Amino acid sequence: MNDATVVRAVDARKAYDGTVALDGVSLDVREGEVFGLIGPNGAGKTTLVRALTGTASAEGTLELFGMPAGDSDRSRVGLLPQEFAPPARLTARELVAYYGGLYDESRPVDDVLADVGLADDADTWYETLSGGQKRRACVATALVNDPDVLFLDEPTTGIDPAGRRALWDLLESLADGGVTVFLTSHSMDEVERLSDRVGLLRGGELVAVGTPAELVAEHGGPARLVVAGPDATAGAAPLREAGFAVEVGADELVLGDVAPADLADAVTALADAGVAYESLTWTEPTLEDVYLRLTGESFEGAFTPGASAVEGADAAGRASGAGDSSDGDATGPAAATEVDR
């Protein structure tokens, strides 16, 4: 990454028949940076991508490579729109070749298909590709001109976990090579894993920008320990005596602001009081927590799955399973979150 600004918006504004889609958005994205844009449905993400790529008009300054977005050299820009319905009666290879043909120079089609994991499906009709394969083919159309800046509006929708990881690796290697990536996604694990910086758009306004770690530290809330099981609530008093802040739920206790070093004290307090529980789950805040808090979609006492779970305990409260600490697998928290909802 270097300091050259590739993507720039200053006070970008857009309204559709009285609906404000962008309400004064300003941001800069540097060369080789991966910028992740998150926000609820209707927040204005697609409108911002369209304004920045010159595919929709907007008030304010919208620039790519220091030029008005609409005047920028299109051969340097890759765009995967959210809604993209290519002709069905083309094979994957023909589709990508068609897009490559729009430029004076383009990458070898089979290389691009290999990059998105479609080498074995190059001769398959687009209409008979699976949903995830179709999305991969669409990603390929955005890569075929070897762009310097890549706008991807929800690129991995419908792509299976292995395919997502492969695409993440590809995007990381492109960014390492100096390609600037502007990504919108509803997948918080994807954004947290890929983005150098993240912006959260809400009601057309950019309400927070920072590295994932900065946003989590500032807005993610405390780490929590959840003690679950039908008899777990008996632990409320001893845990409070031990100095923990405790919220009591139906079949669980939620302990706020628990650092890793506090875990042993909590387990000891439960054991000394003879409290039985089924699981202990320690959760660190993630970008998902940031999102939920800043969009107002979180609820009191809610916890998002994060890192470690210790399954099972005997009547004396001793954990029967070994605590498995987070392996840093970016899909973990989000995968668990989907189950939780």
Ligand X SMILES: Nc1ncnc2c1ncn2[C@@H]1O[C@H](COP(=O)(O)OP(=O)(O)OP(=O)(O)O)[C@@H](O)[C@H]1O
Chain positions contacting ligand X, by CB under 6 A:
16, 19, 21, 39, 41-47, 82
d(CA 115, CA 4): 27
Contact 238, 272 (CB under 8 A): yes
Report, in Å, the least distance between residue 57 CB and ligand X.
11
State which residue, 40 or 249, has the beta carbon closest to ligand X.
40
* Block residue for tokens 């805040």: 285
State which residue, 45 or 134, has the beta carbon closest to ligand X.
45
Q: What DSSP designation does 131 have?
A: H
Q: What is the DSSP string of 164-228?
A: HHHHHHHHHHHHHTT-EEEEE-S-HHHHHHH-SEEEEEETTEEEEEE-HHHHHHHHS---EEEEE
Report, in Å, the least distance between residue 122 CB and ligand X.
30
Report, in Å, the least distance between residue 94 CB and ligand X.
29
State which residue, 43 or 167, has the beta carbon closest to ligand X.
43
Measured in whole angstroms, the distance separating CA 323 from the mean position of its chain's CA atoms is 27
164: alpha, beta or left? (left if phi > 0; alpha if psi -120 to 50): alpha
State which residue, 205 or 214, has the beta carbon closest to ligand X.
205
d(CA 265, CA 169): 40
Kindly state the tokens that stand for 33: 């940076």
State which residue, 21 or 96, has the beta carbon closest to ligand X.
21
Report, in Å, the least distance between residue 296 CB and ligand X.
16
d(CA 48, CA 42): 11
Report, in Å, the least distance between residue 183 CB and ligand X.
13
